[in-house]
Amino acid sequence: MTGFGQKDKRQKNSHPPRRPDGAEKLHDEALDYHRQGDLINAERAYREAIKTGYSHPTIFSNLGAICQNSRRSEEAISLYNKSLEVNPNNPDALMNMGWIYKDLGKLDQALTATLKSLELKPNNHIGHMNLGSIYKDLGNLELALICVLKSLELKPNNYTALMNLGWIYKDLGNLDQALAATLQSLKLRPENPNALMNLGGIYKDLGNLDQALAATLQSLKLRPDNPNALMNLGGIYKDLGNLDQARAATLQSLELSPGNRKALKNLEGLYKEGDIPNLRLAALKAINTDPGNLMCSDFIEFLASLGEEFMLAHLSIQTDLH
């Protein structure tokens, strides 16, 4: 995510910035706070400058970056749009907005914003990396690979791009290249929980279960509340024949992400051998943790696959909630 920077007085804007008394001083103050990492005071100063009527693209885009960083996605999008009203050719605002749309699952909008950003700033290694992630989510692994390789051509030692490259190679079935890229990423940043989780997945696919377990446990030590890593841990324990630990890890994953279809399917497989009472408890716990699962078609399909008693339980709880 790109944020702050200098005010570019040469910037060509559709609407010239208004400069009420004191506004530029507030803008400079906000930039200083932002550079120092004092986001609370930076946000305060940005907002005070905006209240004066001062309209400069970096104020809106920088405040948008702060909101994006604190997961205020809708407000961030609104601020980026205001920045683009002042200067439609702001590549950083477009790139950041594209990343929010990706996180929200709005992949077409994410693609449009990111491509426009790269038209304006073709050698932005972050933009190419983000574009690769969008194409990966769209299922176009070939284009995803091209974009991430372009990003690494522009900045070879970007550990995030190397991690993404490893994951794309894994999805393409090129496990040796996936392993090499992921290990290179971890050499640059050894305590990256996402890269360690990915490494565990690669080792699992390679059949190296002990190494898969070690990498996944290390990932969870760094980020214990990662439902995907816990789900992967359950799969590794299952392959190792440790079914009790596999169930425990999968249930913990579902507590954090109750509607995860893959984890639910894994749980179904772990309880197939007649342990229906425990599976029923797990399903009901998923409903109670997040009642929104009642409206999730994947979750309803999962319950239906387990038999009539699960659907009756689902209907009973749904009635109680109404």
Q: Break the chain into its structural domains and give their ranges.
A: 1-106
Locate 197 and state its tokens. 């989780």
What is the reported pTM?
Answer: 0.76
The pLDDT tens digits for 165-211 are 999 999 999 999 999 999 999 999 999 999 999 999 999 999 999 99
Give the CA angle between residues 61, 65, 71 to the nearest 5°. Answer: 140
The pLDDT tens digits for 45-101 are 888 888 888 778 888 888 888 888 888 989 889 888 888 988 898 898 999 999 999
Read off the pLDDT band of 237 (50, 70, 90): very high
In which residue are the tokens 């799969």 written? 235
CA distance linking residue 80 with residue 201, whole number of Å = 36
Which has the closest alpha carbon to 216: 181, 240, 244, 184?
240
For residue 15, the tally of other CB atoms under 10 A from its CB is 10
Q: In percent, how much of the chain has pLDDT > 70? A: 77
Read off the pLDDT band of 126 (50, 70, 90): very high
Average pLDDT over every residue of 140-158? 97
**321: pLDDT strictly greater than 50:** no
Average pLDDT over every residue of 291-299? 50
DSSP string of 77-88, one letter each residue:
HHHHHHHHHH-T
In which residue are the tokens 């992921």 written? 182
Mean pLDDT lowest among 20-24, 118-122, 306-310: 306-310
- Report yes or no: 212 and 200 within 8 Å, Cβ to Cβ: yes
108 by DSSP, 3-state: which?
helix
Average pLDDT over every residue of 253-264? 79
CA dihedral angle for residue 209, residue 214, residue 216, residue 222, rounded to 10 degrees: 180
Locate 33 and state its tokens. 């706070």
CA distance linking residue 116 with residue 268, whole number of Å = 44
The pLDDT tens digits for 152-165 are 999 999 999 999 99
| Assigned CATH class of 1-106 | mainly alpha
The pLDDT tens digits for 215-236 are 999 999 999 999 999 999 999 9
- Report yes or no: 310 and 304 within 8 Å, Cβ to Cβ: yes
**Residue 42 confidence (pLDDT):** 86
CA distance linking residue 50 with residue 152, whole number of Å = 38
